Amino acid sequence: MQRRYIQIGAVMAMLSVAIGAFGAHILKSHISSEMMEVYHTGVQYHMIHAIGIILIALAAGQWGESRKLLWAARLLFVGIILFSGSLYVLSISGVRILGAITPLGGVSFIAGWLMFAAAAVSIKK
């Protein structure tokens, strides 16, 4: 689990930088400032949760692998796809109905962080 999720987290962080650069250099002149803010929010949450995935993987190396840690990493990954992905598509396409998907990503983020906390609480010393 540890190696795999460090790899996933690193790729997600790299994609966040690339997507952010795309927005700053290419999209900026093609979408409204309001939609640029939406896009930027997606990039911020993308990076924060990519780092979270790496943190969870490192914790697995210290604490030992567990189903809680595995689910924590999975939920943050799903959250990136649903939350940030829906904000990217919404800001570029302007299709507002896609905003209905965003809260599902937010719930995934919350559940992922809760699973991480639960794993920390359940560590046997």
pLDDT band at 125 (very low <50, low <70, confident <90, very high): low
Distances (CA, A) of 76 to 32, 62, 93: 29, 20, 25
Please state, rounded to an integer, the average pLDDT across all residues of the chain. 95
Residue boundaries of the structural domains of the chain: 2-121
Lowest mean pLDDT among 12-16, 48-52, 74-78, 120-124: 120-124
What is the pTM for the complete model shown?
0.94
Residue 1: pLDDT over 90: no
What whole-number percentage of the chain has pLDDT above 70? Answer: 99
- Looking at residues 50-59, what average pLDDT do you find? 98
pLDDT of residue 28: 85
> What pLDDT digit, counting tens, does each position of 101-123 carry?
999 999 999 999 999 999 999 98
Query: CB pairs under 8 A, 24+ apart, for 115-124?
Result: 115/68, 115/69, 115/71, 115/72, 115/75, 116/52, 116/55, 116/56, 116/59, 116/68, 116/69, 116/72, 118/68, 119/59, 119/63, 119/66, 119/68, 119/69, 119/72, 120/59, 120/63, 122/66, 122/68, 123/63
Q: Residue 30 in 3-state DSSP? A: coil
Rg of the Cα trace of the chain?
16
Average pLDDT over residues 18-38: 94
